[in-house]
């Protein structure tokens, strides 16, 4: 059995023994006794962080405050799907708006819960479309993430490194779908998240004329009508996301995902969703991270992320 690397002096007890000793004391008195504040019977704080994320976020000078969630059930406009000709390439604006509104409401609820924790922001947000239900085909959206707050620790570090931590508060909590790890890296590079931004476009893709299909079925040709539809809708969604980011005064957006889904509408109606985290540079300049190269011994067959451990 090898010894752990962190053994300051030979006389110091083994970390494992210290850990087990802590479990023999009643909770709230688990402090090592070396001047650390005892937590008393403060309520436990829940996070969906993996151990890595918890360490990294804490290293950035942020403390977790608890899991926060936001839900929205939204009834789409009944006529949203209709009123468009079969041969028409056109956005279904009512559906675009309703999907955007539903997500915005869910995110608003999440922020409200974070606000109740006096949080600076929420990291690791997962905003998911969880299906459509009932006769009204109501959309169900759920957002969940961990609320965090900058500690005094972060302020001190912010002076040294100017940027670490300290997000703009602007009266609103920031949201970010970046993992705890990415959040820490971002802070280290001199950026802070400003908020999650998104653009939605629901588009009706025209059906081709039967004659066209017949004439060209043996040809190598681009299907311009469909290319245009998919191209247009994607660009529209991305542009809307950009505009949201601009309105927040962000410098850029990281981790953009473009998702293409048909949800409940069947063929020829597609939602394009562009979503990402808007960020702002708070340091004087971007600091490159200069990573080291390592060959990790983690084994790849086992996912060490506890969120995905379930049924490993």
Partner 1 sequence: MSGPSGPPPPPPSVEGSEGTASLDDLPEAARSRLTEGAAPGGTWTSDLSVSELSAVERCGFTPAGMVVGMTVYQFGMQGYYGTSGGLGSTMGGQLYTTPGWAGGYQQTYLCQHATYGHMPGYNFEDLWYEQGLTEAYTLAIDRLREEADLLGAHGVVGVRYDSHRVPLASSAPVIEVRMVGTAIRREGSPPLSEPFTSHLSGQQFAKLIDTGWVPGALVVGVGAIRSYGGCVVGNGTSSGVTYQYASGEFRQRSDAIQNCRRFAVDRLETHATGYGERVVGVDVAAQFHSSMEDTMMVENVMIGTAVRRFRDIKDPQPARVVVGLADVSR
Question: Are the C-beta atoms of residues 221 and 228 closer than 8 Å to each other?
Answer: no
Q: Per the structure block, which two tokens stand in for 181?
A: 């790890």
Nearest to 21 by CA among 35, 32, 34: 32
- Closest CB 57 distance from partner 1, rounded Å: 10
Question: Are the C-beta atoms of residues 203 and 89 closer than 8 Å to each other?
Answer: yes
DSSP state of 80: T
**Dist CA 257 CA 236 (whole Å):** 14
Nearer to partner 1, 185 or 225 (CB): 185
- Closest CB 212 distance from partner 1, rounded Å: 36
Which residues on adjacent β-strands are paired with residue 122? 147, 175
Nearest to 46 by CA among 30, 24, 63, 31: 63
- Closest CB 29 distance from partner 1, rounded Å: 10
- Closest CB 214 distance from partner 1, rounded Å: 39
3-state secondary structure 200-255: EEEEECCCCCHHHHHHHCCCCCCCHHHHHHHHHHHHHHHHHHHHHHHHCCCCEEEE
- Closest CB 202 distance from partner 1, rounded Å: 14
DSSP state of 302: S
What is the distance of C-alpha 156 from the center of its chain? Answer: 27
Nearer to partner 1, 224 or 298 (CB): 298
Question: Are the C-beta atoms of residues 151 and 62 closer than 8 Å to each other?
Answer: yes
Nearer to partner 1, 74 or 174 (CB): 74
- Closest CB 3 distance from partner 1, rounded Å: 8
Question: Are the C-beta atoms of residues 61 and 159 closer than 8 Å to each other?
Answer: no
Nearer to partner 1, 94 or 235 (CB): 94
Q: Per the structure block, which two tokens stand in for 175?
A: 């949201």
Nearer to partner 1, 232 or 305 (CB): 305
Nearer to partner 1, 187 or 270 (CB): 187
- Quick count: other Cβ atoms within 10 Å of Cβ 112? 12
DSSP state of 101: H
Nearer to partner 1, 219 or 289 (CB): 289
Question: Are the C-beta atoms of residues 122 and 183 closer than 8 Å to each other?
Answer: no
- Closest CB 222 distance from partner 1, rounded Å: 32
Nearer to partner 1, 21 or 260 (CB): 21
- Closest CB 137 distance from partner 1, rounded Å: 11
């Amino acid at each position: 059995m090898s010894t752990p690397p962190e053994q300051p002096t030979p006389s110091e007890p083994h970390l494992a023994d210290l850990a087990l000793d802590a479990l023999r004391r009643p909770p709230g008195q688990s402090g090592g006794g070396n001047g650390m504040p005892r937590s008393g019977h403060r309520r436990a704080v829940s996070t969906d962080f993996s151990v890595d994320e918890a360490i990294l976020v804490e290293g950035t000078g942020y403390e977790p405050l608890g899991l926060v969630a936001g839900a929205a059930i939204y009834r789409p406009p009944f006529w949203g799907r209709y009123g468009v000709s079969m041969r028409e390439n056109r956005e279904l604006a009512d559906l675009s708006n309703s999907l955007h509104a539903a997500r915005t409401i869910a995110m608003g609820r999440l922020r409200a819960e974070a606000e109740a924790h006096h949080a600076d922001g929420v990291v690791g947000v997962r905003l998911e479309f969880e299906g459509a239900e009932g006769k009204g085909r109501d959309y169900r959206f759920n957002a969940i993430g961990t609320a965090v707050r900058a500690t005094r620790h972060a302020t001190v570090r912010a002076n040294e490194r100017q940027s670490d931590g300290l997000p703009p508060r602007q009266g609103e909590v920031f949201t970010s779908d970046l993992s705890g790890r990415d959040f820490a890296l971002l802070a280290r590079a001199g950026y802070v998240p400003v908020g999650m931004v998104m653009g939605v476009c629901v588009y009706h893709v025209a059906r081709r004329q039967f004659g066209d299909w017949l004439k060209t079925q043996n040809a190598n040709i681009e299907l311009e009508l469909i290319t245009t539809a998919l191209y247009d809708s994607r660009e529209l969604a991305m542009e809307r996301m950009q505009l949201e980011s601009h309105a927040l005064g962000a410098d850029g957006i990281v981790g953009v995902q473009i998702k293409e889904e048909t949800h409940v509408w069947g063929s020829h109606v597609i939602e394009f969703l562009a979503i990402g985290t808007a960020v702002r540079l708070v340091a004087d300049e971007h600091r490159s991270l200069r990573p080291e190269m390592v060959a990790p011994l983690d084994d790849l067959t086992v996912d060490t992320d506890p969120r995905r451990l379930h049924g490993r």
